Chain A
């Protein structure tokens, strides 16, 4: 029996330290219980693994490259490797999880898939795998986000999904998640809910972390070939709910020499009232079925966060990350809207890569750390920036009709 504490896995009740669990109304019990009882058996079944691995290779395009960013490295006088999740099919890491969950849903005999989405990346990744498997797909999206993220709404529709606006509360990701959970309550037998991050009731945080752990699994052997060691000095990733970070950290969490750096969205600044830096502004609480750090008022009402990137615009973080923060295993930094923009333009100019705004937060935190010249730093480039072009153009002071050849 292994008595070493692992940061990777929760206990049987879904707890990472004091965070996690399954705080769900009885109406969700059968669905959640079924998942708790079956997810590991299904996921580690040989036929499942074969199909999952093949899809990741031939459909998603894995392994994604681990790219040595030479000019960026020179800027920071160290060795920076970018894990290129932006090169995944659909443009972000989200698809690693949706491919896994659609295969799981099939094995559970579900016919109908629901999902929540903020920026639309998870919605697109879900609509994609539903098309692939011929399953009905319903995506809940805040009314405000539908306006902000029109191209991704169009992509979901083209892929055959139904996009339902969440009109309650603040009409963003938190409310889309509420609506998806309510849908699940109302459809207790034929529906699987594909959550898009390491949030929600147990077993979702663990299940999504395992599906995303392919990121660090590949990183280890890729580093070995490139540097001679599987272990970097730093792994850095942005944290919305925390799925790309969970995946990028996963196989390094129990390697004490590897420093784990999570980067949250500082919005307009921590003190501005317009931020999404949950570890700085949140308190222990319960949101969407698990106990974690939650941004809330003194009275325990969940507040609406702010970030320039819709994918980080969430008032909580997954319980795994709350525990990394709590235990000190992870260092939590934040980058503001402006700093993220600056980092996006820097990467575009230095490396010819236009990153997603979310990923730009992780890049921006590079300047906050004093690296040594021989150190190895892995940054998870969680997505590409196509979806953020409107924001980037605005930052350049140009409007789309002025962009000419």
Chain B
């Protein structure tokens, strides 16, 4: 059973998945950020691989990507950083046990070599992939098999504009979870969240095989709660990156931010 499945078997409400950008804020802060997220209560981590042209991302994540690239972040560097991230701290590793999915755009992965990428991801202990610009057709004809061969989950996105039929198809191709984009937007847009409720209810009624996590526009306790109402949890990206960018202390900033999301008033 995959680490992501295990997580949802254990806990299937109010899952908190937090996005961070590899190589941000410092080139070698990737593990520190991930550790801080785990210690502060993140159930799952979405680790972004920076790209020069992140089409689906808004200004905050774009900025973190461009800083990470300036810092010298590359996929090879990332796999070096991740080499011992699953090993216990006592044995000299980073001791990160929560599931981790890599999020990124296809081009840098193609240059690295798609199969080599999947093999390396599997070897270091990555659990799944989110590649927003990999569409169904390419997944079915070329890439899906390679991903499966390396025991990685693959997460497709659905939006309020996606038809029920297509949602079912994307669900059937996904494993781990399904990523429900809260509104048709790039990341970090604070569109009115309330309007998403109907769509999230619809998702809940479709009897999908995967758990559903909601992302885009989740930024505080209120939006987190709203997102969790009809789904299994939510993904927070831009709001966390913003919190990181306003602080020089990764641990403190992370703790404070996650507390603000998770603590009951």
A residues with CB within 8 A of B: 13, 21-27, 29-30, 168-169, 174, 178, 181-182, 185-186, 188-189, 283-289, 294, 296, 298-302
27 contacts between A and B (CB under 8 A): A13-B137, A23-B135, A25-B132, A25-B157, A26-B158, A26-B159, A27-B161, A27-B186, A178-B53, A182-B58, A185-B56, A185-B186, A283-B111, A284-B110, A285-B111, A286-B107, A288-B55, A289-B133, A296-B111, A299-B75, A300-B107, A300-B108, A300-B109, A300-B110, A300-B111, A301-B51, A301-B52
Query: Given the complex, which residues of B lie within 8 Å of A26, measured CB to CB?
Result: 132, 156-159, 162, 170, 181
Query: Given the complex, which residues of B lie within 8 Å of A29, measured CB to CB?
Result: 135, 159, 161-162, 166
Given A23-B133, A25-B133, A26-B162, do A294 and B107 touch, yes or no (CB 8 Å)?
yes
Query: Given the complex, which residues of A lie within 8 Å of B5, measured CB to CB?
Result: none
Task: Check B157–A299 contact: CB distance below 8 A.
Answer: no
Query: Given the complex, which residues of B lie within 8 Å of A296, measured CB to CB?
Result: 107, 111
Task: Check B111–A298 contact: CB distance below 8 A.
Answer: yes
Sample of 13 further A-B pairs with CB below 8 A, known A27-B161, A29-B161, A288-B55:
A13-B137, A27-B159, A169-B53, A182-B58, A185-B55, A185-B186, A289-B133, A296-B111, A299-B108, A300-B111, A301-B69, A301-B108, A302-B53
Given A286-B106, A299-B111, A300-B109, do A27 and B184 touch, yes or no (CB 8 Å)?
yes
Query: Given the complex, which residues of A lie within 8 Å of B158, measured CB to CB?
Result: 26
Given A25-B56, A286-B110, do A186 and B69 touch, yes or no (CB 8 Å)?
no
Restricting to B78-133, which residues have a CB under 8 Å from any CB of A?
105-112, 132-133
Task: Name the distance in Å between A118's Cβ and chain B's nearest Cβ.
Answer: 15
Query: Given the complex, which residues of A lie within 8 Å of B69, measured CB to CB?
Result: 301
Interface contacts (Cβ under 8 Å), in number, total 108
Restricting to B146-163, which residues have a CB under 8 Å from any CB of A?
156-159, 161-162
Which range holds the interface residue count of chain B? 35 or more
Docked Cα-Cα span, A188 to B157, in Å, equals 15
Q: Does B254 contact A (CB under 8 A)?
A: no
Q: Does B231 contact A (CB under 8 A)?
A: no
For residue B157, which residue of chain A has the nearest CB?
A26
Task: Name the distance in Å between A354's Cβ and chain B's nearest Cβ.
Answer: 35
The listed residue (A186, A283, A288, A301) touching B189 by CB distance below 8 A is A186
Query: Given the complex, which residues of B lie within 8 Å of A302, measured CB to CB?
Result: 52-53, 107
Docked Cα-Cα span, A77 to B129, in Å, equals 60
Docked Cα-Cα span, A222 to B43, in Å, equals 69
Task: Check B59–A168 contact: CB distance below 8 A.
Answer: yes
The listed residue (B75, B111, B135, B166) touching A24 by CB distance below 8 A is B135
Given A298-B111, A300-B108, A300-B112, do A174 and B138 touch, yes or no (CB 8 Å)?
no
Q: Does B185 contact A (CB under 8 A)?
A: yes
Query: Given the complex, which residues of B lie within 8 Å of A22, measured CB to CB?
Result: 135, 137
Docked Cα-Cα span, A25 to B157, in Å, equals 8
B residues with CB within 8 A of A: 51-53, 55-56, 58-59, 62, 66, 69, 74-76, 105-112, 132-135, 137-138, 156-159, 161-162, 166, 170, 181, 184-186, 189
The listed residue (B133, B138, B166, B184) touching A188 by CB distance below 8 A is B184
Docked Cα-Cα span, A13 to B56, in Å, equals 22
Task: Check A24–B133 contact: CB distance below 8 A.
Answer: yes
Shortest Cβ-Cβ A-B pairs, 9 listed: A300-B111, A300-B108, A25-B132, A188-B184, A26-B157, A301-B52, A25-B56, A299-B74, A286-B107
Docked Cα-Cα span, A287 to B181, in Å, equals 23
Query: Given the complex, which residues of B lie within 8 Å of A286, measured CB to CB?
Result: 105-107, 110, 133
Task: Check A185–B184 contact: CB distance below 8 A.
Answer: yes
Task: Check B106–A23 contact: CB distance below 8 A.
Answer: yes
Given A169-B66, A182-B55, A286-B106, do A27 and B185 touch, yes or no (CB 8 Å)?
yes
Docked Cα-Cα span, A235 to B50, in Å, equals 41
Query: Given the complex, which residues of A lie within 8 Å of B138, measured CB to CB?
Result: 21, 23
Query: Given the complex, which residues of A lie within 8 Å of B135, measured CB to CB?
Result: 21-24, 29
For residue B106, which residue of chain A has the nearest CB?
A286
Query: Given the complex, which residues of B lie within 8 Å of A27, measured CB to CB?
Result: 56, 157, 159, 161, 181, 184-186
Query: Given the complex, which residues of A lie within 8 Å of B189, measured CB to CB?
Result: 186
Docked Cα-Cα span, A284 to B76, in Å, equals 20
Task: Check A186–B62 contact: CB distance below 8 A.
Answer: no
Task: Name the distance in Å between B59's Cβ and chain A's nearest Cβ.
Answer: 7
Query: Given the complex, which residues of A lie within 8 Å of B52, measured CB to CB?
Result: 169, 301-302
Task: Name the distance in Å between A313's Cβ and chain B's nearest Cβ.
Answer: 15
Docked Cα-Cα span, A164 to B4, in Å, equals 42
Query: Given the complex, which residues of A lie within 8 Å of B58, measured CB to CB?
Result: 182
Task: Name the distance in Å between B110's Cβ and chain A's nearest Cβ.
Answer: 6
Docked Cα-Cα span, A180 to B184, in Å, equals 15
Query: Given the complex, which residues of A lie within 8 Å of B111, measured CB to CB?
Result: 283, 285, 296, 298-300
For residue A294, which residue of chain B has the nearest CB?
B107
Docked Cα-Cα span, A296 to B74, in Å, equals 13
Query: Given the complex, which residues of B lie within 8 Å of A186, measured CB to CB?
Result: 184-186, 189
Query: Given the complex, which residues of A lie within 8 Å of B170, measured CB to CB?
Result: 26
Docked Cα-Cα span, A362 to B186, in Å, equals 39
Docked Cα-Cα span, A287 to B108, in Å, equals 11
Of B108, B156, B181, which is in contact with the most chain A CB atoms at under 10 Å from its CB?
A: B108
Task: Check B161–A30 contact: CB distance below 8 A.
Answer: yes
Task: Name the distance in Å between A382's Cβ and chain B's nearest Cβ.
Answer: 26
Query: Given the complex, which residues of A lie within 8 Å of B132, measured CB to CB?
Result: 25-26
For residue A33, which residue of chain B has the nearest CB?
B166
